[in-house]
Chains A and B, each alone.
Chain A
Amino acid sequence: MRTHAVAGAVTAVVLAPLAWPGYALRYDMVFVPRQPLNWEMLAPADSLPRAVPLDALVSLANVAIPGWLLQRIVLVAVVYLAALGAARLMPAARTGPRLVAALAYAWTPFLAERLLLGQWALLLAYAALPWLVSAARDVRDHRPGGLPRLVLASALAAVTPTGGLIALAAVLVLLPLRSRATWIAFVSVAGLNLPWLVAALTGPAGGVSDPEGVPAFAARAENWAGAWWSLAGTGGLWNASTVPASRASVLTPVVTLLLLAIAAVGLPLLRRRLPGLTDRLLILAAGGFVLAALGSGPGEPLLEWVVGHVPGGGLLRDGQKFLIPYALILALAFGAGAERLAGALARRFEPSAGRVLLGGLLLLPVAVMPDLAFGGLGALKPVHYPADWDAVARQVAAAPGDVLSLPFEGYQSYSWTDGVVVRDPAPRYLDAPVLINDALRVGTVTVDGESPRAAEVQRHLAAGRPAAELGFRWVLVRVGAGAGPPAEVLAGLRPAYAGEYLQLWSNSSVTSTSPANFDRRIFALAAHAAFAVVVIFYALALLRTRRRSW
Chain B
Amino acid sequence: MAKLATIVVALVAGGILGAVGIIATMGAVNPSADRVAQTSEIVDPATSVYGTR
Contact = CB atoms under 8 A, between A and B. Distances in A.
B24 A441 contact: no
A352 B21 contact: no
Interface in B1-31: 1-3, 5-6, 9-10, 13-14, 16-21, 23-31
B51 A241 contact: yes
B32 interface: yes
A366 B21 CA distance: 8
B40 interface: no
Interface in B22-53: 23-32, 34-35, 38, 42, 46-53
A383 interface: no
A361 B17 CA distance: 9
A357 B8 CA distance: 11
A246 B27 CA distance: 5
Contacts of A350: 2-3, 5-6
Give the one of B5, B9, B53 with max A CB within 10 A: B53
A367 interface: yes
B19 A441 contact: no
A241 B17 contact: no
Interface string A410-452: 1111100000010000000000000000001111100000000
A442 B52 CA distance: 5
A245 B50 contact: no
A348 B1 CA distance: 11
A370 B28 contact: yes
A349 B28 contact: no
Given A250-B23, A353-B5, A443-B53, A240 B38 contact: yes
A352 B6 contact: yes
B53 to A, nearest CB: 6
Contacts of A240: 35, 38, 51-53
Given A245-B29, A364-B17, A27 B24 contact: no
B53 A220 contact: yes
Given A251-B19, A352-B6, A368-B20, A27 B50 contact: yes
A238 B5 CA distance: 44
20 contacts: A216-B53, A238-B51, A240-B35, A240-B53, A245-B30, A246-B28, A248-B32, A250-B23, A350-B2, A356-B13, A360-B16, A364-B20, A366-B21, A367-B17, A369-B24, A370-B25, A377-B28, A413-B48, A443-B51, A482-B47
Interface of B: 1-3, 5-6, 9-10, 13-14, 16-21, 23-32, 34-35, 38, 42, 46-53
Ranked 5 nearest A-B pairs via Cβ: A360-B13, A239-B51, A249-B27, A409-B48, A349-B5
Interface of A: 27, 117, 216, 220, 223, 238-242, 244-252, 255, 345, 348-350, 352-353, 356-357, 359-361, 363-364, 366-371, 377, 407, 409-414, 421, 440-444, 481-482
Given A240-B51, A359-B13, 15 more contacts: A27-B51, A239-B51, A240-B38, A240-B53, A245-B29, A251-B20, A360-B14, A360-B16, A364-B17, A367-B17, A370-B28, A407-B48, A411-B49, A441-B46, A442-B51
